[in-house]
Structure 1
Amino acid sequence: MAPLASIGAGEPWGGHVMFERWGRFVVKRAWWVIGGWVVGALLVIGLLPGLSDITSGDQGSFLPGSYESVQAMDLARTAFPEQVTSNAIVVVKRADGAPLTEADQERVGALATAIGDAHIAGIGQPVTGPPAVAPNRLVQLVNVPITAALTDSRGQLDAVTKTRDTIAGNLAGTGLSAGVTGQVAQVVDNNDTFNTAFAVVGAATFALIIVLILIIFRSPIAALLPIVVISVVLQVSSSLIAAAGKLFGFHVDQSLQTLLLIVLYGIGTDYLLFLLFRYRERLRAGADRKTAMVDAVARVGEVITSAAAAVIVAFLVLLLATFGGFGSLGPALAIAVFVMLVTGLTLIPALVSLIGPATFWPSKAWRREPKGTAFARIGAAVGRRPAVTAVASGLVLVALASGALLFKADYDFAAGFPSTTESARAAADLERGFPQGALDPTEAYLTTSDGSRLTPAQLEQFAAAAATVNGVGGVQPPVTASGGTVARFALLLDVNPASNEAITLVHDHLRDDLHAVAPPGTRVLVGGTTAIYADINSANNRDLSVILPVAALLIAVILALLLRSVVAPLYLVLAVLLNFAATLGSAIYLFQSLAGRPGVTFQLPIVLYLFVLAIGTDYNILMIARLREEARAGHEPRAAAALGVRHAGPSVAAAGLILAGTFAVLALAPVSFLQQIGFSVAAGIMLSAFVMSMFLVPSLTALLGHAAWWPGRGDVGRPGPAQPAERVRSASMP
């Protein structure tokens, strides 16, 4: 076996020299670095705002004003000063399941009055009446307008909860029962589910990091180090993001806090492992603790910086998105990754250089090189048969990627929630008497072209014409603005308003049909949840078609700068894109084909972009940098592939297992779209680490040989004196 002191030896290059100097600076002034971090973190956390100050749950607010659903919202805000942000639907039925009597209907009217008289904060005047009674009289609806701002999630939740309390006290002993449904009610009912799921994710993240690092290094200090450091980074990043949001006027989605936790613990643990594996390697070679850390930073610093740069660029490309929910995620996550990059090059090396070999206490295994490891055997197999390895790993990814051709987006969150909640039962009761669209009506806003008052004839003409439009199951009486210039019609679609069918209906012809039946001198704007999702669908399709190629190009540029090569970045980027398609395809095969879902959650492609394409690039960069290093040390291409997998494989595998395991826990959540995200990202990270980085990239690099580094000479270096070619071959390819 090649002596450890010679492994990775070779002629220094520009990045190596720069990061060696940086490592010496950090190690020499370790206490100053740590002190600066403590003071800086306290100031940032103590003085800057929190994420809640820039959080918004309004999906429509993330769309640009060119979309009709946004124009409809803007018109509604102007025409109706008491803006209704959502609706709670009270579904009343007889407890014995019989049709409602006249007395029952009067009792429902009294219920609506009682809810209004309760003066519940965040709701408008409840409405019911004969049009709210189902044709078969099995149910009657009470529409409770929610006026609490979309950014006031607590106000919306309290409004639904207090409405339910009022209903329970009012219907006692009447023979009637009622349930509250609608979007906000669904959030209330499933809030515990989400809180539990996210708490489990956090706990699972900590547990996986601790357990896996304990297994790898057999040291509690090494296991606790990422938990302590990244917890501080999470708080600092959150405050910096909030400050940037205030400064530049952007809001973030409610999911950002969870994404931040996973991103930072994912890449933070990656960077820590990259450093610790190389630090341990240099200690084994006989270096003292400070010199070993300087060398670790010199060798891995460029890898960490390039990996972080690729992730930051991928996140910032989201600024090109027309859907602001994605666009605002970009700078937020980029800020977090940048803070983690600074941490990986300053705080972590400073701490470990002071702790020294005690980082691996009480284990003494770090002192000796393990023999015959699984990664040595994998590396040897890749080096012996790179063509077979490349074809086999490539075919696996291509086979899975074929499923991406069947992609359908699913916007129906409610279908993925538990069916035992009050909102789910009430929604099922509603469908016994009304079209499915009654749960979340599509809104048509009629206004005159010249700003004059609408006439009763125009209102009646549009209501009658709209009822005949294909896909409309019913039209509720209009609500007219105080000035009489705008009227809002609630259209009940005859399909589930959150289904792909409804979104396609609105997108393809419902809007045009409603525009066509507008009375002369008037115009129509179509809004509501279904219309918003139809516009989000259009924005998503456009955004992905722009984001993916731009991100791929910029990542290729970063790889070219790192590797001083044109050829290697090309096949690395193609491998990442293939891995992205394979991950999406595997999810489609599982959830659409096997589980029979109408599609996969519309958020899935962008989530896979964030975690599989962007972060998965880290593993490629670590592997290709190690392959280059082994080639510079004088190894032939196949031997370099064998040694690259042998030494970089453990880092890639450990980092991939931790991040994949964190997401895999989401697959246990009782919510469909969380299950889809959990499975898909876990599968994508595993494919990134164990198929793409471990087999495909090393085998392609071995096959291309010197051509992989064209037009530069990235693989040329001075072989160490203790590494004659025949000795290298015998060490790496038994």
Structure 2
Amino acid sequence: MYRSIGQNVSRHPILWIVVWVLFAAIAIALSPPQEAVWQDGEMAFLPKESPSVRAVNTYREAFQPSLQEAAEKDSVGTSVQQDPLGSNVVIVLQREDRPSGLTPEDESFIKNVLVAELEKLQRTTPKGYNWKPGMEKVYTKDLPQNERVIKSIVTMADERIGPLLTSPDQKATLVILELTTEFLERQNRLLIGRLEQVVDSPELQDKKPIGLSLALSGSATVGRDMLLAEQQSASRTEFFTKLLVIVLLLAIYRAPLLALVPLVTVGVSVALSKALLRIMAGWGWIGLFTGLDVYVTVVVYGAGVDYCLFLIARYKEELDSGLSQKAALSNSIERVGAALATSAGTSIVGIGMMGFSEFGKFRQAGFAISFGLFVVLCFALTFTPAFLILFGKWAFWPDVRIREVGKQSGWLPSSTMWNKLRDQRVMQRFWEGTARTIQRWPGYVFVLTVLAMMPLAIIGILYQDNLSYGLLTDLPQDSPSVVGAKVVQKHYPAGITGPHTIFVEFPIEVLHEVFGDSDLKDARTSEKLSEAITQNLSNEDIRLKAERSTDPLEQPIGIEDVRSQYQPLGNNKKANEYLTKLPLRMRGAKRTFAHRTYTGLNGSLAGQVLRLDVVLSEDPFSRSAIQTLSKLEEAVRHSIFFAEDSDIPLDKQAKLRDTAKIYSLGTTAAIRDLKSVTDRDRILIDILVTVSVYLVIVTLLRQPEICAYLIVSVVFSYLITLGATFVFFYLRDPTGFNGIDWKVPVYLFTILIAMGEDYNILLMARVTEEQETYGKVGGVLQALMKTGGIISSCGIIMAGTFFTLMSGSLLAMVQMGFALGFGVLLDTFIVRPILVPSYLILLYSGRFGWFGRFLGAPAETFTPSEKEREYIKESIEY
């Protein structure tokens, strides 16, 4: 088949080029813009059965319609309580030059100057994707209410919730802009851009009291910074990927047209792949998360250039043997076509196994990257040879007079260091020396290499679960949202940035049994139950704090505030003073507001669900917050009981407690589900990738025992890489290191196993070919020497493309780039040229004794042929 492809491309090179270019141009023209098909967020990709997703569904069914009730004026609270799914922008104002904190001038500035500017933004700002200076002239007209992105503005002057916004030390206060959009929507960028311009404007700064500082925080600000960092990282990564590939190709080939061949091949194939993916996403066949194109670009560039390099290297070998260009090309595709297809197939199948994961982003990445690899493989087998035929001898310009283009031709001046190294055959001598060393002392080389790498592998095993799930830790420390969050955490409990919303769902028949045919639609019943849970929960945490037990199970949860139907504004003293001073009419409004806000009154769950908003002292993004949330849920369950003088029997209280379902909504709940899902996916993906790649290479090599060792060697390199990544980023920032990003282990294992085996396949294919001439051991040494240079070049290019991810600003992308690049270099220069050949020589020379039969050694006793004896003798004497 591959010879037919080679002959067909040789006869009609222009046709193949025209067809591919036209196909790519049409696909790009028909594809929708990426903004129209990208999907934002992390938590949106969780399985539907995840507890936090069920909590969202519970809220939407039982609570959401109540937002249309009662006018805002008559509510004792704000929509931030009514809509925990919404996002917000928080302006943090702080004064630290006075012990007493904020001044009356500060309050006047907020009320008369800042709020006036914000109200102007509220009236004139729609949802929008982009913001650039000068665009403020476009947004001057007042918009209808339903087109505005800002739903409401809440300040310290608001009697309903204002006391909650001022910090306990009186040195900071919050201005909250409640939005109609979710926090990771790209449509928030216009508002936040305009808001930053207002806050930084000279007019506002002149009116701002001296000593008062402003910073931005809030979920929408975090989301904006995440999306902006992803976009900037993608642009930088793509630029540096192309630049690196150009530089390396020119250094390797010293012929600009020859370097252009893989660059154009991969460039067109990547553009076509991304266009086809957008078309499929536009048709609803697949999903594409924001930032996926970065991984497609990097992986496909690295793999595609590798495929082209292997084909060109074999093409030069065939030309050097005296064949014509068309014959050399046909032979090249015939000889390496199957190896390239198998190599790519291994990557495609291995990475495609991510499609079986629960987490949506992993599924999308598995398909998109595999699809890109398939497209670039097709290009490498058709588009690349067509270009080579079309260029003819000019492919090796500037020296087009000689046929043996691999020996002296070049574009760089002959006086360069690179040319001197090539003239002295330094690289070839290096691989010959490596082969001799391994042939003489295979056991020592193998054992010493494993022992040298073992410490990093042990670190990788011990710390593989030390992962970071935080959004803020992923952003650059100078991002507005990070700066603002630090200011908030300086003056408020850390948990205020992510309150936990707890839903307690009771079976309707149990409620009727306990409360005498009444349920939570009755405000008195729900308030009675809410009071019991709220007081019991707070009292239990106070007891644990007072006892100061050393038992981990008896540690306090760290509850700072609880808001519920019983106390809708929490335990803030000023807020409760405001409630007690309400006139009689407003007291009724308070009770109505509290009932409809903290009790589910709609849908099939009407009268069955209570809600609690709990603020903890712990950072919701910290690793320990997940365990704290589980303790909080358990504490809520244990708080479902009434005072001893209650008329409800203890057995009915126990039944109410035992049948309750507890759901959590919020940042920590979503992170807990994310951890749970991705932990399961890691196990599943690791198994599927390992088994699928093993089956593919067994099908090609038909040596199951040796193939098992090849898998083990790459898994070993994965563990080493994981350990090295932990060590590198810990040493980079010992105090701020929170673990590697949760995505790194999954992508690292999948890509290293799937693509790391590529080089082993190409080496083993050449080993099999050389063993026909040089015998078992001699074939291994010959294959190592003949493939050492080209595989190393490919490895350097592949690693370089992965390292370009480190040019981004997101810490997760930086960690991913380091891990993948280091892993490829490790596989290129340690696993493939040292661990694999030394093991094979030990095996083929009978060093494992009788046990070698179980490892894939030939059944017969090792007896080298005359030619092999002569070859080995020459190698030792050399």
Instruction: Confirm or deny a common fold (TM above 0.5).
Output: yes
Aligned counterpart for 1:415 among listed residues 473, 481, 489 = 473
Aligned position for 2:833: 694
Aligned position for 2:189: 157
**CA displacement at 1:187 relative to structure 2:** 4.7
Say whether 1:475 aligns with 2:562. yes
Say whether 1:383 aligns with 2:439. yes
**CA displacement at 1:38 relative to structure 2:** 2.1
Over residues 273-295 of structure 1, what are the superposed CA-to-partner deviations in whole Å (9 max), with x where a residue is unaligned? Answer: 11111111111111111111111
1:209-220 matches, within 5 Å, as 209-220=245-256
Give the whole-Å Cα distance in 2 for the aligned partners of 1:29 and 1:714. Answer: 49
**CA displacement at 1:213 relative to structure 2:** 1.5
- Contact persistence 1:437–1:492 (CA under 8 A): yes
- Contact persistence 2:183–2:222 (CA under 8 A): no
**CA 1:44/1:667 → structure 2, altered by over 3 Å: closer, same or farther?**
closer
Give the whole-Å Cα distance in 1 for the aligned partners of 2:86 and 2:316. Answer: 57
Q: For structure 2, which runs of at least 5 residues remain unmatched after alignment?
A: 68-82, 127-148, 156-161, 409-421, 509-518, 542-555, 570-593, 602-608, 642-652, 846-851
Give the whole-Å Cα distance in 1 for the aligned partners of 2:625 and 2:855. Answer: 52
Aligned counterpart for 1:255 among listed residues 291, 309, 312 = 291
Aligned counterpart for 2:717 among listed residues 572, 575, 579 = 579
Over residues 388-447 of structure 1, what are the superposed CA-to-partner deviations in whole Å (9 max), with x where a residue is unaligned? Answer: 332233334433211121230112342354433433332222122211121233332456
Aligned position for 1:654: 793
1:63-142 matches, within 5 Å, as 63-78=46-61, 79-80=63-64, 84-94=85-95, 96=97, 98=99, 99-101=101-103, 104-105=106-107, 108=110, 111=114, 115-116=118-119, 118-119=122-123, 120-121=125-126, 122-128=149-155, 129-142=162-175
Say whether 1:606 aligns with 2:718. no
**CA displacement at 1:384 relative to structure 2:** 3.1
Aligned position for 1:10: none
Give the whole-Å Cα distance in 1 for the aligned partners of 2:476 and 2:24. Answer: 41
- Contact persistence 2:503–2:611 (CA under 8 A): yes
Give the whole-Å Cα distance in 2 for the aligned partners of 1:97 and 1:682. Answer: 51
- Contact persistence 2:245–2:801 (CA under 8 A): no
Q: Which amino acid aligns with 1:406?
A: Y
Over residues 643-677 of structure 1, what are the superposed CA-to-partner deviations in whole Å (9 max), with x where a residue is unaligned? Answer: 11212112221111112223334445554333322
1:275-294 matches, within 5 Å, as 275-294=311-330
Q: Which amino acid aligns with 1:503?
A: I
**CA 1:188/1:581 → structure 2, altered by over 3 Å: closer, same or farther?**
same
Is the radius of gyration larger for structure 1 or structure 2? 2
**CA displacement at 1:298 relative to structure 2:** 1.3
Give the whole-Å Cα distance in 2 for the aligned partners of 1:367 and 1:24. Answer: 23
Say whether 1:366 aligns with 2:506. no
**CA displacement at 1:224 relative to structure 2:** 2.0
Over residues 483-521 of structure 1, what are the superposed CA-to-partner deviations in whole Å (9 max), with x where a residue is unaligned? Answer: 853676443232221111113322x42333334435777
Give the whole-Å Cα distance in 1 for the aligned partners of 2:558 and 2:823. Answer: 39
Aligned position for 1:432: 490
Aligned position for 1:4: none
**CA displacement at 1:728 relative to structure 2:** 4.0
Q: Which amino acid aligns with 2:490?
A: R
1:172-191 matches, within 5 Å, as 173-175=207-209, 176-189=212-225
How many residue pairs match? The answer is 709
**CA displacement at 1:564 relative to structure 2:** 1.8
Aligned counterpart for 2:43 among listed residues 60, 67, 72 = 60
Give the whole-Å Cα distance in 2 for the aligned partners of 1:271 and 1:394. Answer: 30
**CA displacement at 1:690 relative to structure 2:** 0.8
- Contact persistence 2:562–2:614 (CA under 8 A): yes
**Percent identity at matched positions?**
25
Give the whole-Å Cα distance in 2 for the aligned partners of 1:671 and 1:537. Answer: 20
Say whether 1:492 aligns with 2:615. yes
**CA 1:711/1:104 → structure 2, altered by over 3 Å: closer, same or farther?**
closer
**CA displacement at 1:103 relative to structure 2:** 6.4
Q: Which amino acid aligns with 2:703?
A: S
- Name the SS of the counterpart of 2:239 in structure 1: helix
Over residues 325-366 of structure 1, what are the superposed CA-to-partner deviations in whole Å (9 max), with x where a residue is unaligned? Answer: 112211111111111111122111222233234323225673
**CA displacement at 1:460 relative to structure 2:** 4.5
- Contact persistence 1:138–1:432 (CA under 8 A): no
Give the whole-Å Cα distance in 2 for the aligned partners of 1:714 and 1:561. Answer: 21
1:714-725 matches, within 5 Å, as 724-725=867-868
**CA 1:249/1:191 → structure 2, altered by over 3 Å: closer, same or farther?**
closer
Give the whole-Å Cα distance in 2 for the aligned partners of 1:27 and 1:482. Answer: 74
- Contact persistence 1:171–1:177 (CA under 8 A): no
- Name the SS of the counterpart of 1:373 in structure 2: helix
- Contact persistence 1:56–1:151 (CA under 8 A): no
Aligned counterpart for 2:3 among listed residues 17, 20, 35 = 20
**CA displacement at 1:139 relative to structure 2:** 1.0
Say whether 1:511 aligns with 2:630. no
**CA displacement at 1:312 relative to structure 2:** 1.1
Q: Which amino acid aligns with 1:664?
A: F
Over residues 54-103 of structure 1, what are the superposed CA-to-partner deviations in whole Å (9 max), with x where a residue is unaligned? Answer: 32122111111221111122233443368644332221223745512466
**CA 1:124/1:463 → structure 2, altered by over 3 Å: closer, same or farther?**
farther
Q: Which amino acid aligns with 2:770?
A: E
Aligned counterpart for 1:325 among listed residues 345, 361, 371 = 361
Give the whole-Å Cα distance in 2 for the aligned partners of 1:221 and 1:730. Answer: 42
Over residues 604-654 of structure 1, what are the superposed CA-to-partner deviations in whole Å (9 max), with x where a residue is unaligned? Answer: 10221243222222111111111111113x212332222112121122211
Q: Which amino acid aligns with 1:80?
A: Q
Q: For structure 1, which runs of at least 5 residues remain unmatched after alignment?
A: 1-17
RMSD in angstroms over aligned alpha carbons?
3.3
- Name the SS of the counterpart of 2:614 in structure 1: strand
- Contact persistence 1:303–1:625 (CA under 8 A): yes
**CA 1:622/1:603 → structure 2, altered by over 3 Å: closer, same or farther?**
same
**CA displacement at 1:186 relative to structure 2:** 3.5
Give the whole-Å Cα distance in 1 for the aligned partners of 2:204 and 2:470. Answer: 33
Aligned position for 1:628: 768
- Name the SS of the counterpart of 1:615 in structure 2: helix
- Contact persistence 1:566–1:709 (CA under 8 A): no
